[in-house]
C-alpha cells in the first residue's frame, strides 16, 4: 500500500523487543492460523492460548470476527477489502510481537499472496498454521449457518463457495481438525514451538 503521509521519520525507542522478551521470559512469535470458515481456527487457537497461559506464557489472540467489530468494521468482503483486512492485521500482529507477546491470529486469509506479505513483514517470527479441513466437513459443521446462506445466494463472495481459498504450500504447521481431536491439534503446535 502506498504511504500517503509525508515528513515522517521512524523514531527508535530505548526499550526494545529483546528487553520485553527478557522481562517476560519468552520469545515472541506470530502464529498465523489460516483455513476455511468452520475448519476450527478459533477453537484450536483458543485452546492453544489457554494451554500457553497455563504454561506461564503471555499471549494475545486476534480473531477474525472480533476484529471486524472494531478495527476493521469499515471493511466488507470484496477482494479489495479482504486484502486490506489482512494487511491491517499483519501490521497489528507485528506490533504485538514487538511487545514481546506470543500472538495468535486466526483469519481465513484465503489468498497466498496476502499471507506471503505477512510472512515478509514478520520474517522468521511468522509461523503459518494451516487448519486443514475439507469444505464438505466445514459445511456439515457450519457453526454460524453461513454456508447454508452462501449456498442459497444470500451471501456473496463467500470463501470456498464463490470465492477461492488457496491452501498454503509450505506451512510450518498443519493440523487436521477432521482427523485429530482438539488436544492432539494443540499438542502438535506446542511441540513445534518447543516450549
In a domain, 2, yes or no: no
In a domain, 155, yes or no: no
Q: What nine digits make up the cell of 165?
A: 481459498
Q: What nine digits make up the cell of 127?
A: 509461523
In a domain, 1, yes or no: no
Q: What is the pLDDT of residue 1?
A: 56
Active site residue 109: yes
42 assigned ligand-binding residue: yes
The CATH number for 126's domain is 3.40.50.300
In a domain, 143, yes or no: no
Cβ atoms of residues 113 and 39 within 8 Å: no
pLDDT in tens, the chain (195 residues): 566 777 777 667 778 889 989 999 999 999 999 999 999 999 999 999 999 999 999 999 999 778 888 888 899 888 888 889 999 999 999 999 999 999 999 999 999 999 999 999 999 999 999 999 999 999 999 888 999 999 998 998 899 998 899 999 999 999 999 999 999 999 999 999 987
Quick one: DSSP state of residue 159?
B
Segments forming the whole domain that contains residue 97: 23-135+165-193
123 assigned ligand-binding residue: no
Our count of domains for the chain comes to: 1
93 assigned ligand-binding residue: no
145 assigned ligand-binding residue: no
Q: Which of 28, 93, 105, 109 is catalytic?
A: 109
> Residues of 41-63 as b/e, b for ≥16 C-beta within 10 angstroms?
bbbbbbbbbebbeeeebbbbbbb
Amino acid at each position: 500500500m502506498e504511504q500517503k503521509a509525508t515528513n515522517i521519520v521512524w523514531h527508535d525507542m530505548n526499550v526494545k523487543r529483546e528487553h520485553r522478551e527478557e522481562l517476560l521470559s519468552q520469545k515472541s512469535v506470530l502464529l498465523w492460523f489460516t483455513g476455511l470458515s468452520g475448519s476450527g481456527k478459533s477453537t484450536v487457537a483458543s485452546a492453544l492460548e489457554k494451554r500457553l497461559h497455563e504454561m506461564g506464557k503471555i499471549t494475545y489472540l486476534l480473531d477474525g470476527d472480533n476484529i471486524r467489530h472494531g478495527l476493521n468494521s469499515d471493511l466488507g468482503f470484496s477482494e479489495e477489502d479482504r486484502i486490506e483486512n489482512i494487511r491491517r492485521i499483519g501490521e497489528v500482529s507485528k506490533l504485538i510481537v514487538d511487545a514481546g507477546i506470543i500472538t495468535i491470529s486466526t483469519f481465513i486469509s484465503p489468498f497466498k499472496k496476502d499471507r506471503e506479505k505477512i510472512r515478509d513483514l514478520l520474517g522468521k517470527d511468522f509461523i503459518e498454521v494451516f487448519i486443514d479441513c475439507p469444505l464438505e466437513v466445514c459445511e456439515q459443521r457450519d457453526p454460524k449457518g453461513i454456508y447454508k446462506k452462501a449456498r442459497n445466494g444470500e451471501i456473496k463472495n463467500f470463501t470456498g463457495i464463490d470465492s477461492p481459498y488457496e491452501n498454503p504450500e509450505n506451512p510450518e504447521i498443519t493440523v487436521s481438525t477432521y482427523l485429530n481431536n482438539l488436544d492432539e491439534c494443540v499438542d502438535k503446535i506446542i511441540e513445534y514451538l518447543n516450549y
